[in-house]
Amino acid sequence: MSHQIEQNARPAGLRGAVWALVITSVAGFMAALDNLVVTTALPSIREDLGGSLPDLEWTVSAYTLTFAVLLMFGAALGDRFGRRRLFLVGITIFTGASAVAALAPGLDSLIAARAVQGVGAAIMMPLTLTLLTAAVPAAKRGMAYGIWGAVNGLAVASGPLIGGSLTEHISWQWIFWLNVPLGLALLPLARLRLAESYGTGSPLDIPGTLLASGGLFGIVYGLVRGPADGWTGRLVLTGLFAGGALLVGFVLYSTRAKNPMLPMRLFRSRAFAGINTASMLMFLGMFGSIFLLSQYMQGVLGYSPTEAGLRMLPWTGMPMLVAPIAGILSDRVGGRPVVATGLFFQAAGLAYMASVVTVDASYAAQLPGLIISGVGMALFFAPAANLVMSSVRASEQGIASGANNALREVGGALGIAVMASIFSAQGGYETGQTFVDGLRPALVTGAAVVALAGVAALLIPGRRHAGAAAAAQQLPERELQTASH
């Protein structure tokens, strides 16, 4: 059993840490990018493959559903059977499904390929943080998480730009072909450069997996279909209520189970509960805002997808500059103040954008809001990853990463649903003015939600208290490891 309790006590040297950072960042980039990369390509896909708008939306929703639903299960599989091994399985599935999506002859096969892509992403994404943690010394993890967070933040925010640019200048199929060489390059690198590690060695929690997966499926299905089908639609209401009931059952079951997939005691930690709440709210406000603002720049201001993406670079590209610095800051002063500051900056940027959007807003007027939002997003990503991974035992870092990613995905799906509903209720696509009329209250809502995330971040314990809590968390594991030897 001792090999299964093997953890991250022996970080790799500098070269190994750099390789791990490159491999996990590229894998995380691919998984995060495919959340929104299809949105700007939908008109071209419809022209080639046909289908109604609700059918086309499933090319986005199918990925979101399987990705969100299986994240915790993917992390649990990695803990049980080997994190590097399952990471390689996830990359293989994701890369193969990307090629199938690029070759899809019809809409149904494209949607099916997107669903399988989500399965691969759900397996590899939560393991990126666990494998990175294993390779990097504790004193340097903040900076490593900063770079990892910068790459992931860039992927989320630049999805519409990359999708639009590839569609505009080549073809929509290249949205998916892009993943193939990256995946093929990662496979041998991950096999040779990443060390294997395991979780506690506990058997898979089948009842917990079924309850959590079923609950997340119902909730995410209801959220992604609500704006299109109506919130009173039979399937939407069934999904939301059944999903909620299953998740309640999952919580009740997990409080009593001997080896639960997600131990509920983790949420007794203010650090773990606080950063997960803040992450879900941050993605709720950010995903919905990016979803609408990318359409605003193209549909109202008249920019091409490439022009719109370039003009959003002060927001989307800022993490590449600021997030590594944020990671170093979190190593020195703790994650809480950096995360909270970033969230309040992001909220201020969205609120500013809400105040300046018009049918003919100049780029100069928008620029301060884009810069403030970019700095805020950059300050959030790196310390957030550090806070998640340091708030639990080493053997539980895989499932903690999976839970955090699942909550962020639910937040992103909820953000698009909520923003789209507010937008539709207050405005619409009829004219530039009706678009702005709907966009403004949606952005105000996004700003308020992200500000609430900042308040949640302030409830995270300070560095000294968190250090004592982490030491207490690690004590039982050290005793377990001693016993195993």
Q: How far apart are CA 444 and CA 172, in angstroms?
A: 33
Residue type present at position 395: S
Q: Are 154 and 174 a contacting pair, CB within 8 Å? A: no
Q: What is the pLDDT of residue 52?
A: 65
pLDDT at 355: 92
The HSE-up count of residue 132 (CA atoms within 13 Å, CB side) is 31
Does the CA dihedral 46-49-55-57 come out positive or negative?
negative
- Dump pLDDT digits (tens) for 160-181: 677 777 877 788 888 889 889 9
pLDDT at residue 476 above 60?
no
pTM: 0.72
For 87, the enclosing helix (H) or strand (E) is helix 83-102
Type of residue at 421: S
The Cα-based distances of 285 to 237, 275, 345, 408, 446 in angstroms read 23, 15, 13, 11, 4
pLDDT mean across residues, the chain: 78
* Cβ contacts of 15 within 8 Å, gap of 6 or more: none
Helices 270-295 and 432-458: angle between axes, nearest 10 degrees: 170
Q: Among 21-30, 107-116, 268-277, 310-319, which range has the highest average pLDDT?
A: 107-116
Give residue 377's pLDDT band: very low, low, confident or very high (50, 70, 90).
Answer: confident
Q: Can you give the pLDDT at residue 451?
A: 94
Residue 236 contacts residue 222 (beta carbons within 8 Å): yes
